[in-house]
Amino acid sequence: MCRRFALDLDWDAAARWLDVPDAGVRRDRLPRPSYNIAPMQSIALVAKDTAGGRHLTGARWSLVPRWSPSDALGYPTYNARVESARYKPTFADSVRSMRALIPATGYYEWKGRNPFYFHSPDGAPLAMAGLYSWWRPDGSRPWLLTATIITCPAVDGPASVHDRMPLLVPPDMAGAWLDSRIDGGDLLAPMREHGTALSRMLRFHEVAPLPSPLSTSTGSDGPGLIRPYRREEPMRLF
């Protein structure tokens, strides 16, 4: 599960990292920095248009398929499992041709009630595998861009905290992942293999208590949320 993550990036630097031309950066739609992003909030994503150009823009985190009569679905769509996404009606169209990179500074997982922050060893941003969809209630309303983060089984160190984690996109697979001419169903298995290898390099540490990942309240924000949490030893009389 990935239900909270941090995103504090210089968008010009992020565009260079994600190979997005300046003309493709929609700064007016990109989210503000946050260390406590939750579903239904604005996130950033990179996707290709029909001409093959890359765009960096904002989207609502919780995918709504184009055929849905409402944007209020009766089940969560902020994550899509790599094992089943291509077979789920909600995600199948997006797996085929509407895939994205979702940048993050890092992300959180909970072990019981204790949150842990995951990040790259050198502090570089992460590129999470995502899917997107355009939705609108009727022909007279503007389109809404929505997205989900693909998750996979956790391995090694991350598995000691939680059994799921975001699927990370290796740099050498980013082009194929964004290419709508390629059926994404054929990419999920190799993406899982290479993304899992990449995730083995992640570092993580416990952070101060945050609201439950199932809570609709995000609570506080700011870089202090990702600082290592040092538990106070109980006072001893002897």
Check residue 212 and give its pLDDT.
65
DSSP state of 23: G
- Please tell me the predicted confidence (pLDDT) of residue 234: 55
- Tally of residues, the chain: 238
Q: What is the pLDDT of residues 182-224, one digit of tens each?
A: 999 999 999 988 888 888 899 999 999 886 666 656 678 999 9
Phi, psi of 7 (to 5 degrees): -145, 100
Residue 46 lies in a domain: yes
SS3 labels along 99-111: EEEEEECEEEEEE
Residue 88 structural domain: 5-211
Structural domain tally of the chain? 1
Query: pTM of the entire structure?
Result: 0.93
Phi, psi of 18 (to 5 degrees): -95, 10
Residue 105: phi and psi, rounded to 5, are: -75, -35
- Residue 172: inside a domain: yes
- Tens digits of residue pLDDT in 119-166: 999 999 999 999 999 999 887 889 999 999 999 999 988 999 999 999
Task: Report the C-alpha gap between 51 and 54 in whole angstroms.
Answer: 9
109 occurs within a structural domain: yes
Cβ atoms 133, 66 nearer than 8 A: yes
Tell me, what's the pLDDT at 126? Answer: 97
Residue at 16 is within a domain: yes
Go through 86-125 and write b for each residue having 16 or more CB atoms within 10 A of its CB, e for each that does not: beeebbeebbbebbbbbbbbbbbbbeeeebbbbbbeeeeb
Tokens of 178: 């964004």
Which range has highest mean pLDDT (101-105, 111-115, 214-218)? 101-105
First vs last C-alpha separation in the chain: 43
d(CA 154, CA 165): 5
Find the CATH number of the domain harbouring 194.
Answer: 3.90.1680.10
Q: Edge to edge, what strands does the sheet with 203-206 contain?
A: 34-37, 5-7, 106-111, 114-119, 203-206
pLDDT digit string, tens, across residues 17-62? 999 999 999 999 999 999 999 999 999 999 999 889 999 999 999 9
Calpha distance 140→16 (Å, rounded): 36
* Nearest alpha-carbon partner for 104 in 34, 53, 163, 162: 34
| Residue 162, in any domain of the structure | yes
- Helix-strand-coil split of the chain, %, nearest 5: 25, 30, 45
| Of residues 237, 187, 213, the one with CA closest to residue 117 | 213
pLDDT over 80 at 103, yes or no = yes
Has residue 238 got a pLDDT over 60? no
Count of CB atoms situated within 10 Å of the CB of 33:
15
* DSSP class per residue in 215-236: -S-----SGGGGSBP-PPPPP-
The DSSP 8-state label assigned to residue 201 in this structure reads T
- Average pLDDT, rounded, for the chain: 92
Is 234 within the bounds of a domain? no
Please indicate, yes or no, if residue 225 is contained in any of the structural domains.
Answer: no
pLDDT for residue 83 is more than 90: yes
In a domain, 149, yes or no: yes
At residue 66, the pLDDT reads 96
